[in-house]
Structure 1
Amino acid sequence: MRKKGVASLMLASVMAFAVACNGGSAPEQGGAKAESSTGPKKVVFWHAMGGANTKVVDQMVADFNGSQNKVKVEAIYQGTYDELLNKLKTSMGSNEGPTVVQMYEIGSRFMIDSKAITPMQKFIDADKYDVSQLEPNIIGYYTIDNKLYSMPFNTSNPLLYFNKDIMKASGLDPEKPMKTFEDVKQAAEAIAKSGKANGITIQINGWFMEQLFANQNAEYVNNGNGRKSLATESLLNTEPGLKVLTWWKSMLDSKALINLGRNAGDTRKAFASGQVGIMLDTTAALKGIVEDASGKFEVGTGFLPKPADVKEGGGIVVGGASLWMMNNRSDSEQQSAWEFIKFLSSPKEQAYWHISTGYFPVTVKAYDEQSVKDNMKKYPQFQTAVDQLHQTKLTLATQGGVMGVFPEARQLVEGAVEEVLNNKKTPKEALDATAKTITSKIQQYNKTVKQ
């Protein structure tokens, strides 16, 4: 998934600058230097895939460059998602930026409002590209007003992870799904009471709040989750949010939950060492979680839980990032970049990406690749993630909310959760105050946007 340190998108002066300077396509000489009429077309790709994932990206780029001689892609790692976003903002209005940029899903509204991108739909329509080959619940996030703005690249969703051995030792049946908040709380309390381990830990991450809203089929912001028109109000303090935070706090109060803060690494270490029986985490971490537990215990996976009184609807929202085409590059350079994007989305490349990183394939036929079938046998826990994705019905709620200040909003939500878990505010007090702040920031942002 991820993960995502958070920096504010509410830089109104930068937004105004971006809108003013990036209104349309550059002439055929777009770029710091005139393009040579001979040799391959150069495409610059900025991304935020660090660590081992950098090598995977580099290999995919090398595969593309070696597959033809008309386009040469240069991949440049630009740091975390937030660092990448800030570098992109700085580059807007100049020719120093990328042709294609990877942007996390919560940066989507900013990318659209910047007027600095060419919607992917333009290339899809011109090329008669068959979007039915892409996962509908993945492209759903990046589709607004029936237009696909960017091409999904790395995609994840949240899962419930549990230690089957600890569950058995605590008198629980690990093969019986924990479907509801109440199921999870009862299991966590049983584990804690047994003394075998702490019951559950949940990383303080705003992403989980967003997901637990969607799993109740509840919208996170108004105006159709910001998809019918610009969001103007946060819905954080509505009943779905109160249910989530009340449940979260109740498990702490009953000593079923151990709070390990915002660092995902801390929750994963606690789970791997057998200190905790249950946790929420991203599908992108599944391979590492299973391997860290190898030889110690068996890892089980389950769907994200929901309140027992939510009977129908709901599901997960995809996390991760997508690829955006910058419009200040020449038409021919953008077309060359489109060829690269299509290559990355092919079944073979998506199979390699999935196996190497743990992210979902965005292309349906990738699951037919033998390498993916073999990997699924090795990591059967991932079938839970695939089933959860495919069983999610696409609604305005499960498409995910969009707002220009989403990174900042996520940080504010994490602060609200901390206030509640640290007994500084009640769930209602924390959510009311945070919703008010987010709403104010949304409205400030909207004033900078020219529709």
Structure 2
Amino acid sequence: MRRNPVRALATAVVAGSLVLLSACSGGSSTTGSSASALPSLDPNQQTTISFMEAMSSGAQQAALKKMTSDFEAQHPNVKVDLQEQPNYGALQTKITAQVAAQSAPTIAQVYPNWADELSTSGVLVPLDSYVASSDQYKSFYTGIQNDMKLRDGKNWMWPFNKSVVVQYYNESKVPNAPTTWDQFSQDAKSVSNNGVVALSIDPGSETSPAGGTALFEILAEANGTPVFAEDGTPQFDSDAAKKAMNYLVDLKKSNALALGSNYPGQTALGNQTGAFDVSSVASYPFNQNAVGGKFTMGVAPLPAGPSKTANQLAGTNIAMFASASDQQRAAAWAYMQFLTSPAEMAYWATQTGYLPVTKDAMNEQVMKDYVAKEQWLTSVVEQLDTATPLPAVSYVNKASGALSTAITSAVNGTASVDDALATAQAAAKKAASEQ
């Protein structure tokens, strides 16, 4: 999950957690519901902060450890305790448990829908005053700035590992990346023969929606209507959603689409039994490994739809917990800004495949050198200004899980497109009403 953050495949927050979180939301002079003057970091006071995160393996783990070590070298009075979790589901469960036990970390990776519930419970520090004090914010991409806010319009998060969706393709089968979804369909059908099925996706399940569901959500928006309204209202039975589902069904009937699990697009692309993989830009190093130099792998932005070129902003942000002391908050804020500084974001992007959240990172020499080799990255990074995240509402994962089931049933032919989406819409509305 952590290497392909198109979807937060997280377990649901345990029943009754809102009550527990509200009851255990103690803190210091600044509460979760208001913010006073920012605390300043005392360089003469030794401080330890904890960062609960899921960057626990591979290049992501190595890069975060180096960045943290470099921060500590610049701030010798601050120790950062990286509390690694194996995946996002474990991370959410651990955050919930520790907050309930009044032992919350100082900061943690969070998805916006998690932050929605946590902020309502009063256990997070609102970051408007912190953001106002930052000279970095103005250089963040528009989509990144929007993703820091919740439904109340306030900043509750600081960005960290962000990505969008791209198309990877086998240039020996598809010489040029399709620029429209109609062309994508034509190309996919033309190469689907002799044991090749152009595209494989994983919709996920009712409890864990995956990248195939993200693709459907992007297709719906490209056809004119996102699957969620801005306020989080499900719109699964719109004409645009039906067109998106029929698009997938048509690919399946033409033997150009297969459903699978555990990154099936990446596996098929690497095995040359597939021509495309539509997944997160953060999958790039993993797709390179899967391909292993057997052919030239192209990377390109997503095709345009009839209404727009849609994309989904994914990945996590960082939230600060109200139980932290003023000194810990000051240290955490210094660390959070260090992680998003241009030099660190350039390093993070070149090491992990995630995108830099700040435009200034593109001016760093290491980033210029990387872009010179990976020229596709320039147009992909620009989509951070327009890509839209799923709404920051607590029920979004459960509602999207209903879409996962709908995709599987419609594509496999066990339900009609209309019936599958109607069932998903009813389940999503129920999830929204129960929040």
SS at match of 1:166: coil
More displaced stretch, 207-216 vs 243-252? 207-216
Cα distance in 2 for residues equivalent to 1:187 and 1:113: 47
Q: Deviations over 1:319-360 (max 9, x none)?
A: 000100001112221121101101111111111111111100
User: Is the contact between residue 141 and residue 400 of structure 1 (CA under 8 Å) also seen in structure 2?
Assistant: no
User: Is the contact between residue 376 and residue 382 of structure 1 (CA under 8 Å) also seen in structure 2?
Assistant: yes
Q: Structure 1 residue 189: deviation in Å? A: 0.9
Provide the residue aligned with 2:225 in structure 1. Answer: 218
User: Is the contact between residue 191 and residue 197 of structure 1 (CA under 8 Å) also seen in structure 2?
Assistant: yes
Provide the residue aligned with 1:360 in structure 2. Answer: 355
**Does 1:108 pair with 2:103?**
no
User: Compared with structure 1, are the counterparts of its residues 286 and 349 closer, same or farther at alpha carbon in structure 2 (3 Å cutoff)?
Assistant: same
Provide the residue aligned with 2:295 in structure 1. Answer: 297
Provide the residue aligned with 2:22 in structure 1. Answer: 19
Q: Deviations over 1:348-379 (max 9, x none)?
A: 11111111111001121111111111112232
More displaced stretch, 290-299 vs 41-50? 290-299
Q: Equivalent of 1:43, from 38, 49, 59? A: 49
SS at match of 1:198: coil
Provide the residue aligned with 1:279 in structure 2. Answer: 277
Cα distance in 1 for residues equivalent to 2:63 and 2:136: 26
Cα distance in 1 for residues equivalent to 2:320 and 2:216: 30
Q: Equivalent of 2:167, from 135, 160, 166? A: 160
User: Compared with structure 1, are the counterparts of its residues 207 and 50 closer, same or farther at alpha carbon in structure 2 (3 Å cutoff)?
Assistant: farther
More displaced stretch, 84-93 vs 143-152? 143-152
**Does 1:75 pair with 2:74?**
no
Provide the residue aligned with 2:63 in structure 1. Answer: 56
Cα distance in 1 for residues equivalent to 2:397 and 2:389: 17
User: Is the contact between residue 198 and residue 256 of structure 1 (CA under 8 Å) also seen in structure 2?
Assistant: yes
Structure 1 vs Structure 2: percent identity of aligned residues?
A: 22
Q: Structure 1 residue 160: deviation in Å? A: 1.5
User: Is the contact between residue 221 and residue 236 of structure 1 (CA under 8 Å) also seen in structure 2?
Assistant: yes
Name structure 2 gaps, 5 residues minimum.
31-41, 204-209
Provide the residue aligned with 2:201 in structure 1. Answer: 202
SS at match of 2:89: helix
Name structure 1 gaps, 5 residues minimum.
29-35, 168-173, 446-451
User: Compared with structure 1, are the counterparts of its residues 19 and 207 closer, same or farther at alpha carbon in structure 2 (3 Å cutoff)?
Assistant: farther
Mapping 1:182-331, distance limit 5 Å = 182-193=182-193, 195=194, 197-204=196-203, 205=210, 206-216=213-223, 218-222=225-229, 225-226=230-231, 231=232, 233-259=233-259, 261-264=260-263, 266-308=264-306, 310=307, 313-331=308-326
Cα distance in 2 for residues equivalent to 1:185 and 1:362: 32
Aligned length: 410
Q: Structure 1 residue 279: deviation in Å? A: 2.2
Mapping 1:114-133, distance limit 5 Å = 114-125=121-132, 127-133=133-139
| TM-score normalised by structure 2 residue count | 0.87
Q: Which amino acid aligns with 1:406?
A: V
User: Is the contact between residue 4 and residue 80 of structure 1 (CA under 8 Å) also seen in structure 2?
Assistant: no
User: Compared with structure 1, are the counterparts of its residues 216 and 43 closer, same or farther at alpha carbon in structure 2 (3 Å cutoff)?
Assistant: farther
Cα distance in 1 for residues equivalent to 2:118 and 2:240: 29
User: Is the contact between residue 301 and residue 384 of structure 1 (CA under 8 Å) also seen in structure 2?
Assistant: no
More displaced stretch, 43-52 vs 418-427? 418-427
SS at match of 1:315: coil
User: Is the contact between residue 351 and residue 367 of structure 1 (CA under 8 Å) also seen in structure 2?
Assistant: yes
Aligned CA-pair RMSD: 2.3
Cα distance in 2 for residues equivalent to 1:215 and 1:108: 27
Provide the residue aligned with 1:170 in structure 2. Answer: none
Cα distance in 2 for residues equivalent to 1:280 and 1:134: 26
SS at match of 1:316: coil
